[in-house]
Structure 1
Amino acid sequence: MTLQAKLDAFKADFEAGKPPYNVPHAVIETMHRATRELIESGATQSALKAGDKAPLFTLNDPTGQPVSSAGLLLKGPLVLSFYRGVWCPYCNMELQALEDALPEFQALGASLLAISPQTAPNSRKSVRKNALSFPILSDSHNDVAAAFGLRFALPDYLIELYKNLKNDLPQFNGDESWTLPMPARYVIDQHGTIIYAEVNPDYTRRPDPEDILPSLRRIRSM
């Protein structure tokens, strides 16, 4: 089953209010509204695309150790995934799919990083929850996400909904800004050029990890 098929199956059960979710229809409608408005805003137009230069960054892993994109690019191409946080079930399913694909990435000489705005303890929870063996990095204030054109501010009505659902992003992220990254996947070659870019304002839509293998093979053949 593809990653998107798994996400679609989860979404169908979640939005149908099946146990253990039991989510009121009004909550689903509010989430749909926020996604629709983000799509209509054209936010993806400001996101970096294939052919653009990727900004360099250094972020800490869950143990507080700095990880440098420049250092990893000296070894080979970089697969980069921006995700919302451990509280997001769609993100967790994506991380698990990336973990499954990691041997294929490594066989093509690539490193894999995932970036979220959450604090180190929540990143450690992501690692445990999803049995990950690749680095999870904390992007405080979504600054790196902003450099890639992915950061957006939640509308007031969605903030209110999240508060009612006890989904306290300031606590998860150690940041009062109520911002998130649009989920995104990038492949960056050793020259720092983005070879593959997938950005979607609909957080329930994620590309399959296998979709990026042709880009890694193309880099390998150069």
Structure 2
Amino acid sequence: MSESVNHLLAELHAERLRTWTPEALKVNVDQRQRLVDEADPERFISAGDIVDPFTLLKVEGGSLSLEQLVSKGPAVLVFFRYAGCPACNIAIPYYERNLLPALKRRGVPLVAISPQVPERLKEIKDKHALTLHVASDKDNALGQRFGILYSFDEPSRQASLAKGPGIGALTGTGTWELPQPTVVVIGRDRRVHFAQVSPDWLVRSEAQPIIDAVDAALDADSLLIRHAWA
């Protein structure tokens, strides 16, 4: 059986059930449930949307533009919260193991994106020796455009402040906003071929549906090229 990111995340939750205090667990579960209950798919990026130009900051320096990413075919964007997020430290390495090899064979770039400032975001790339792109979405600009941001509720804010200066200081953004885990496949024509938003950050897109969407985008590219030469 192939590895499942949601099985790995369920194991994380099971560990928390065993080890966290009921009060801490309630804050986490209630915030995730509230995001599920209040999710408005009409706001989210969706298949068929056209993506306007954007630029991301690579953690090792330099930038990545939409034009660069889709110059030869589709690209895959994976939004995550921040480098120290436990669920993200399961999900992003999962994509490195289970998604990146298939994308490399197809010549398709994979970018993991967080609003965290590059110098702090680099931690997750170094920790897991990631070879996929890790990039910062400065000021949550692309997350805002894609309609995928959420803000901490009051109990989550208080829990964050009890551990230190708050999430905005940890990420370097100075805000309480983070992206909901999201996967977007953008074609060479800048059209979205696949978009999946997970309001509950302990639920994430599995690799195979993403690979299938990439193959569909590649087929669409081939069709366009054939028509152009016909």
Per the normalisation by structure 1, the TM-score is 0.92
Q: Which residues in structure 2 correspond to 1:1-222 (within 5 Å)?
A: 1-17=3-19, 23-100=20-97, 101-166=99-164, 168-222=166-220
Partner of 1:20: none
- 1: CA distance between counterparts of 2:18 and 2:191? 42
Unaligned stretches of 5+ residues in structure 1: 18-22
- Report deviation, 1:175: 2.0
Contact 1:188 1:196 in 2 (8 A): yes
Contact 1:141 1:179 in 2 (8 A): no
- Report deviation, 1:167: 7.3
Unaligned stretches of 5+ residues in structure 2: 221-230
- Report deviation, 1:54: 2.2
- 1: CA distance between counterparts of 2:173 and 2:85? 17
- 2: CA distance between counterparts of 1:166 and 1:11? 23
- Report deviation, 1:29: 0.6
- Report deviation, 1:210: 1.9
Contact 1:99 1:132 in 2 (8 A): yes
CA RMSD of aligned residues (A): 1.5
Count matched residues.
217
- 1: CA distance between counterparts of 2:55 and 2:123? 21
**Bigger mean CA deviation after superposition, 129-138 or 34-43:** 34-43
In the TM superposition, what whole-angstrom CA distance separates every residue of 1:140-193 from its partner, at most 9, and x where no partner exists?
221110011111221222111111133731222222221111110011110011
**Percent identity over the alignment?**
25
Per the normalisation by structure 2, the TM-score is 0.89
Contact 1:55 1:148 in 2 (8 A): no
Give the counterpart letter for 2:6 in structure 1: Q
Q: Secondary structure at the match of 2:113?
A: strand
- 2: CA distance between counterparts of 1:93 and 1:211? 18
